[in-house]
A and B are shown apart, each in its own frame.
Chain A
């Protein structure tokens, strides 16, 4: 079991811990590392900040208007569907 982790490891584990609970020995090793590594402590806090920033983006109105399918494309699709409907069986995709 590896108890001394380096920063590359810890950043990966911190990210993992945002989505799933780590095994206890991993949690312990990460905590130990954070005790003496200010950089990874900042990294951990910044991941939390990123999460809140993401949630805030969702709460905002869309930044760009929804893209619409051009009329020409719609006609193409409708024609293709009509064709498939009139000539069953439609070719499998």
Chain B
């Protein structure tokens, strides 16, 4: 589940770079750190991984790394931005480890979200199959702000594989540049566009079935 407000924490990469001056005494108070930042860090992480337990581990790892590197906190950025910078690196590490389990998409084979959408033999090979072909959508601007529509969109998003949904959220909901999404998720540009393509293909289909196909019921 993506929580809108947690996707908005802007943190620059420099915020966790090494500095010359040691952090002050305040920087070494674990209880204060936990009290002040644990919820925010946890919310940020929880919006980006599937399980709360993983998010919790990432928060702890972040604090531990911060403790070790507290000399590196130069006071150039705020303590908060510094901690978020470390958390982002931890998240990228986490996704890199995950990548080993998720095989890179083989573009010669149909992607999961394309399953059944295109013909697989004969004259119609790789053309839309009639039943699955995009239908005409009526998309007045009011649809975009319709709460019910947004609920359907969120549900469709949550049905995508976690990382595919996350790629879409970071790119299209949060509006991050592709390069940054790649960095956050620890994937190559090529891998990112495959994930975005899968997300768009899956969401389009899901909206067609659950919103545009049912529109009369909503009106």
* A residues with CB within 8 A of B: 6-9, 11-12, 15-16, 18-20, 39-40, 42-43, 45-47, 49-58, 60-69, 73-74, 76-78, 80-82, 84-85, 89-90, 93
Are A50 and B63 in contact, CB atoms less than 8 angstroms apart?
A: no
Which range contains the number of B residues in contact with the other chain?
A: 35 or more
Tell which of A7, A12, A20, A45 has the most Cβ of chain B within 10 Å: A7
Contacts of B148 in A (CB 8 A): none
Q: Which residue of B lies closest to A19 (CB)?
A: B178
Contacts of B33 in A (CB 8 A): 81
Contacts of A20 in B (CB 8 A): 178, 193
Given the interface pairs A7-B128, A55-B172, A58-B173, the reply to whether A77 lies near B34 with Cβ below 8 Å is yes
Contacts of B178 in A (CB 8 A): 19-20
CA distance A89 to B65 in the complex (A): 12
Are B145 and A56 in contact, CB atoms less than 8 angstroms apart?
A: yes
Taking the nearest CB of chain B, how far is it from the CB of A81, in angstroms? Answer: 3
CA distance A69 to B1 in the complex (A): 16
Which listed residue (A16, A64, A93) contacts B64, Cβ 8 A?
Answer: A93
Given the interface pairs A51-B172, A55-B175, A68-B39, the reply to whether A81 lies near B204 with Cβ below 8 Å is no
CA distance A53 to B31 in the complex (A): 41
Instruction: Tell me, yes or no, whether B209 is within 8 Å of chain A by CB.
Output: no
Are B193 and A42 in contact, CB atoms less than 8 angstroms apart?
A: no
Given the interface pairs A53-B153, A77-B60, A81-B67, the reply to whether A58 lies near B39 with Cβ below 8 Å is no
Q: Which residue of B lies closest to A46 (CB)?
A: B204
CA distance A73 to B127 in the complex (A): 52
Q: What are the 10 A-B residue pairs with the smallest beta carbon separation, nearest first?
A: A54-B172, A81-B30, A6-B126, A42-B134, A15-B197, A62-B4, A8-B126, A69-B42, A39-B133, A56-B144
Instruction: Tell me, yes or no, whether B154 is within 8 Å of chain A by CB.
Output: yes
Given the interface pairs A6-B127, A20-B178, A78-B31, the reply to whether A60 lies near B63 with Cβ below 8 Å is no
- Which B residues between 49 and 64 are near A, CB-CB below 8 angstroms? 52, 56, 59-61, 63-64
